[in-house]
């Protein structure tokens, strides 16, 4: 009988897709809380959500504010976005969403503050720490710091990757290092030099198949020699992924992630936009053109286009344009319809995450900031002088 009740309860939790419903279960009793926090239930709930394409959520980041939308209840094109507590709200600098995986969303403040939170919005728990500042070289031009977030499935460890580059007067690489921060050890480790120029610095945090991906080239500003570099979170080694054959130097290219697959967006200004998807990771012939559109709503004044998520029926793709508009693109009809969401900020970066029960143990997003935190925030203002040295964080 006990085993039957356990199986029934597990099945019930596995089917919970609304964002914060599981928190109500956890407050029933200590036994319920222990059961929900067990590895078995956490794993079962997450795997069920992924397989059924349920518990799909969007986080909208903009400056310090964070907004939330659950797509499971989105049966129309008119929804309401709710504002949620930002674990880094009291930081001096703006909050950046580094990415999400396994239901954990990684938030970070910009250099030199580097406060970071590993946050599960579903169970409202987070772990917060501060990263050491990136290396600053004076007198060698402007630096670029690219951060990414991912999961090492072998070590069961969430990691933040930091690529720091400085170029000289003739655009030669003076300094280019990859560093990895482990949540388990709470320490940085340098993995070595990276002898490639990072391209398209507007949006770089693309995590797929256990790797972070960057568009790079051996020479600066050479579009026809673009390569896709993949940094493996487990081996902490760099390898290269083949790109589609039909990408040429006229296209403005950026990487994305859609349905767990690596994708590439090719914008031919004022002409059309193509979105390619790599169906089998690492296989060049598996690149398939998912979208090719001349829809004026999409291509007019297009600066950046990102695929976000498939609709529940798989017939539409949610697209983010210029960090200010969302469109549902119908794959069969080849039409785009504006997705207007009440309560959404004017400018935003959209991050999709699958709701999970994964625990990060420390912190509670509902707690008020302590006086010590407030004093620390005042002291961090002194770090502003760092910015005058010419270092710029680019995400």
Helix axes 39-52, 2-14, angle to 10 degrees: 40
DSSP E strand stretches across 131-172 = 143-152, 157-167
Angle at alpha carbon of residue 306, lines to 254 and 145, rounded to 5°: 55
360-to-28, 105, 110, 183, 233 alpha-carbon distances in Å: 21, 11, 22, 10, 19
Mean predicted confidence (pLDDT) in 137-141: 70
pLDDT the model gives residue 19: 40
Reply yes or no on whether the pLDDT at 96 is more than 50: yes
Mean predicted confidence (pLDDT) in 349-357: 81
Task: Go through the chain and tell me how many residues it has.
Answer: 395
Q: Which domains, ranges and CATH numbers included, belong to the chain?
A: 1-52 (no CATH), 53-393 (2.120.10.80)
d(CA 91, CA 77): 34
Beta pairing class for 197-198 and 206-208: unpaired
Joined together, the tokens standing for residue 282 give 């690492």
> What pLDDT digit, counting tens, does each position of 4-27 carry?
544 555 555 544 544 444 555 556
Neighbours of 159 (CB within 10 A): 22
> What pLDDT digit, counting tens, does each position of 364-384 carry?
444 443 444 444 444 444 443
Question: How large a percentage of the chain has pLDDT more than 90?
Answer: 37
pLDDT the model gives residue 62: 73
Distance of CA 19 to the CA centre of its chain: 18
> What pLDDT digit, counting tens, does each position of 63-77 carry?
778 998 888 765 444
Question: Is there a cis peptide before residue 112, judged by omega within 30 degrees of 0?
Answer: yes
d(CA 84, CA 351): 14
The DSSP-derived string for 246-257 is T--TTSEEEEEE
**Higher model confidence: residue 395 or residue 165?**
165
pLDDT the model gives residue 372: 42
Q: Give the global pTM.
A: 0.81
Mean predicted confidence (pLDDT) in 320-346: 91
Reply yes or no on whether the pLDDT at 363 is more than 80: no
Q: How much is the mean pLDDT over the chain? A: 79
């Amino acid at each position: 009988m006990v085993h039957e009740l356990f199986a029934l309860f597990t099945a019930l939790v596995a089917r919970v897709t609304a964002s914060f419903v599981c928190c109500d279960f956890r407050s029933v009793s200590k036994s319920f809380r222990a059961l929900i926090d067990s590895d078995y239930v956490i794993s079962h709930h997450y795997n069920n959500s992924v397989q059924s394409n349920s518990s799909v959520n969007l986080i909208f980041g903009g400056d310090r504010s964070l907004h939330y939308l659950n797509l499971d209840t989105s049966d129309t094109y008119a929804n309401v976005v709710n504002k949620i507590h930002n674990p880094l709200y009291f930081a001096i600098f703006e909050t950046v969403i580094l990415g999400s995986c396994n239901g954990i969303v990684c938030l970070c403040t910009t250099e030199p503050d580097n406060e970071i939170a590993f946050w599960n919005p579903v169970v409202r728990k987070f772990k917060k720490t501060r990263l050491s500042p990136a290396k600053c070289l004076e007198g060698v031009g402007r630096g670029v710091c690219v951060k990414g977030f991912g999961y090492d499935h072998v070590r069961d460890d969430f990691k933040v990757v930091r690529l720091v580059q400085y170029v000289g007067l003739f655009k030669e690489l003076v300094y280019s290092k990859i560093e990895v921060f482990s949540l388990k050890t709470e320490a940085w480790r340098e993995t070595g030099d990276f002898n490639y120029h990072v391209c398209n610095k507007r949006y770089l945090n693309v995590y797929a198949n256990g790797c972070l991906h960057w568009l790079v080239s051996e020479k600066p500003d050479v579009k026809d020699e673009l390569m896709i570099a993949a940094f493996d979170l487990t081996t902490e080694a760099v390898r290269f992924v083949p790109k589609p054959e039909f990408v040429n130097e006229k296209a403005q290219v950026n990487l994305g992630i859609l349905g767990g697959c690596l994708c590439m967006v090719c914008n031919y200004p004022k002409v059309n936009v193509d979105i390619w998807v790599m169906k089998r990771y690492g296989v060049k012939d598996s690149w398939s053109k998912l979208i090719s559109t001349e829809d004026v709503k999409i291509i007019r004044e297009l600066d950046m286009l990102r695929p976000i998520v498939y609709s529940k029926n798989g017939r539409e793709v949610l697209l983010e344009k210029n960090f200010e508009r969302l469109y549902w693109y119908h794959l069969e009809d080849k039409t785009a319809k504006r997705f207007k969401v009440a309560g959404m900020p004017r400018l935003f970066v959209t991050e999709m995450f699958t709701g999970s029960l994964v625990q990060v143990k420390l912190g509670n997003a509902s707690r008020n900031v302590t006086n010590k935190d407030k004093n620390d925030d005042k002291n961090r203002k002194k770090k502003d002088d760092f910015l005058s040295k010419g270092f710029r964080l680019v995400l």
